[in-house]
Amino acid sequence: MKLNEVVLQAWNNRQGAVVFSTVDGNGMPNAIYATCVGMYDSSDIVVADNYFDKTRKNIQAGTRGAVLFITEEGKAFQAKGTVEYHKDGVVFEDMKKWNPEQHPGHAAAALKVESVYSGSEKIQ
C-alpha cells in the first residue's frame, strides 16, 4: 500500500531512532531502537538487520510488526503490518545504498504497512 502524503511527510520529518516491535511465537513482544532505517517505494518502512537476534527469529517465525517514530514537532506515528525479510533483491539492494558502510547490513526487514495511527487517530 502506498503511504499517503501525511504519513510520508511525517516520515521525512522524523527525528531520532525508531522503535521496531515484533512478537515471538509465544506472544512475547520484542522492541528495538533502530537508527538504520529507510523507506522503499513510498510503501515499505525498512529496517536494516545489522545486529538483529530476537527480531530476526521473530521475523523468520512469521511475526507481524510495528514501527513507532516521532516527528520533529513531537507527534508520534505508529505503522503496523506484516514483515518481510530480504537477504537479496531490490529491497535489500536499496537498503545497502543507505545503510552505513561500517554496519554489516545482513538483510532488510520491510514492514508492509497496512495501517498508520497517530495517537488513537487512524491516519491510513
Residues of the chain with pLDDT under 50: none
- The per-residue pLDDT for 79 is 98
Q: Contact 112/64 with Cβ under 8 angstroms? A: no
DSSP 88: S
Percent with pLDDT over 70 in the chain? 100
pTM (2 decimals)? 0.95
Closest alpha carbon to 75 in 121, 29, 112: 121
Q: At 61, which CATH number?
A: 2.30.110.10
Query: How many domains would you assign to the chain?
Result: 1
pLDDT at 26: 94
Domain that holds residue 99: 5-122
